[in-house]
Amino acid sequence: MLAKATQRIRTIRFSTRTAVILFIVLAGVARLGLGTTCSFGAGEITIMCPLGYLQLSLANRTLMPGLLISAGVVAVIAVLLGRSFCGWGCPAGLARSVFKRDRVKSAPAPDNGGGLPGWTRYAVLGGTLASSFALGFPVFCAICPVGLTFGLLFALVRLVETRQPTLELLLIPAVLAVELLVLRKWCKSLCPLGALLGLLGSRSKVLLPFINTEKCLAATQGVDCHACARACPEGIDPRQSAPAVIAEDCTRCAECTGACPTGAVSLPVLAGEKAMVGR
């Protein structure tokens, strides 16, 4: 049985991500032309995935000022909130959470590397940008789990409307299954969007885990607890990981707060320097 707090947090995250997906799909069904989380907006006001923008810009060898502003808005949010999109908005994360088993009690201590070196996702990011420049199209967008998830949902909508099955109904789930189930370390170690958001948020101090050492069993009684670390899907140990690593990797998912038996972990809106290093 999951702790109540953890279950509540997961329910809130599940509901948030489901609401985003439903809103976008219903807007598509109603032909409102608002787009997807890759590029979303109405009229002159749009926001755009910064990785999509970088790839397009390199592929076309131009800055595209209109899109630069749209992507810049998201980049500013990422500077403040790092990888929050991974924890709260990404539909691929939602799909993974459906298949993920209860980790709070049974998972081993985090390896902080996911079996792959920490630089892997940055290498994927560099390869993504270089290949987009060389090949003249946004390479990662073709296989991005976010775009594929919406592609699949819209293909299902078309199936209902036209009753004509299309090949994408087979191809998209196959690619998504490889990315999210076979490549289990996708989100933490391979996703170039997560890498870019983490880099942008690497100086953030907003909504990052803070340990109240007066409540922590390990700090006050020397108990070999590590429940917060075991709960973290990103392999972070909120007590011991370096602040820079936490800022870059944390998705603000709040799993660690629910896992702590004494309520010692919180995600304060703004963690001061003392709080960040004083865990």
Q: What residue ranges bind ligand SF4 (CB under 6 A)?
A: 209, 211, 216-218, 225-228, 231-232, 234, 236, 238-239, 250-256, 259-262, 264-265
Nearer to ligand SF4, 3 or 34 (CB): 3
Query: Smallest distance from the beta carbon of 213 to ligand SF4, in angstroms?
Result: 8
Minimal distance, residue 89 CB to ligand SF4, in Å: 14
CB of 130 to ligand SF4, least distance (A): 29
How far apart (Å, rounded) are the C-alpha atoms in residues 192 and 67?
A: 20
8 Å CB contact between 259 and 228: yes
| DSSP H helical ranges for the chain | 4-29, 50-60, 65-81, 84-88, 91-99, 103-106, 120-135, 145-162, 168-177, 192-200, 217-221, 227-231, 243-249, 255-259, 273-277
To ligand SF4, the closest distance from the beta carbon of 202 in angstroms equals: 14
- Tell me the sheet residues that pair with 39: 36, 48
Taking the least distance from each CB to ligand SF4, the nearer of 102 and 130 is 102
CB of 242 to ligand SF4, least distance (A): 12
Q: Choose between 148 and 271: whose C-beta lies nearer to ligand SF4.
A: 271
Instruction: For ligand SF4, give the closer residue by CB, 172 or 227.
Output: 227
Question: Among residues 251, 248, 250, which one has the least CA distance to residue 122?
Answer: 248
> Residue 37 or residue 241: which is nearer to ligand SF4 going by CB?
241
Nearby residues of 52 by Cβ (< 8 Å), 6 or more positions away: 38, 39, 71, 138, 141, 144
